Amino acid sequence: MKLSVDKANVSWLNVLQQFSVTDENELQSTLKEYVQSGGEGLMLHRRDALWQTGRSDVLLKLKMFLDAEAKVIAHEPGKGKYQGMLGALLLEMPDGIRFSLGTGFSDEQRRFPPEVGSVVTYRYRDLTPQGVPKFANFLRVRVDD
């Protein structure tokens, strides 16, 4: 493999160390370590799988996600195929930061969106320097018993 990479003579192409983990705990610990050192996540592949081009079920990307809650401040209208439905929720985080959340909704949720004033849970990958969630996705409406 190293010889093929050297022959390619491409500065950004490198051979990456491969390793195995013994269980779920070690996998999660390794993922956390890589993310804390600046990585986006881990690529997991079946040990017995041959190389394939494109997406497949023998190579999966594992990333860490965080989740949080925010209050629905307004509904933003949809465009295109979502005309007449919800395009995004305008949310306010407990610290007062506001952002639009427009992904993760089913068509049914877009027809009947969470009410203004309700609290929703979303997942995200990281925060911008301004404290806005990156790659946020709607998960659910919080239901208080």
Query: Domain locations in the chain?
Result: 2-63, 66-141
CA 29, 36, 16 angle in degrees (round to 5)?
A: 80
Nearest CA to 105 among 117, 92, 89?
Answer: 89
Distance CA 122, CA 125 (A): 10
Count Cβ atoms below 10 Å from residue 58 Cβ, excluding itself. 14
- pTM passes above 0.75: no
Cα Rg of the chain (Å, integer): 20
| High-pLDDT (> 70) share of the chain, % | 97
Q: With bands split at pLDDT 50, 70 and 90, how would you rate the model's confidence at 145? A: low
Residue 45 vs residue 102, higher pLDDT: 102
Give the largest CA-CA distance in the chain.
Answer: 63
Range with the largest mean pLDDT of 4-8, 44-48, 49-53: 44-48
Q: With bands split at pLDDT 50, 70 and 90, how would you rate the model's confidence at 95? A: very high
CATH architecture of the domain with residue range 66-141: Beta Barrel (2.40)
Nearest CA to 114 among 79, 138, 133, 78?
Answer: 138
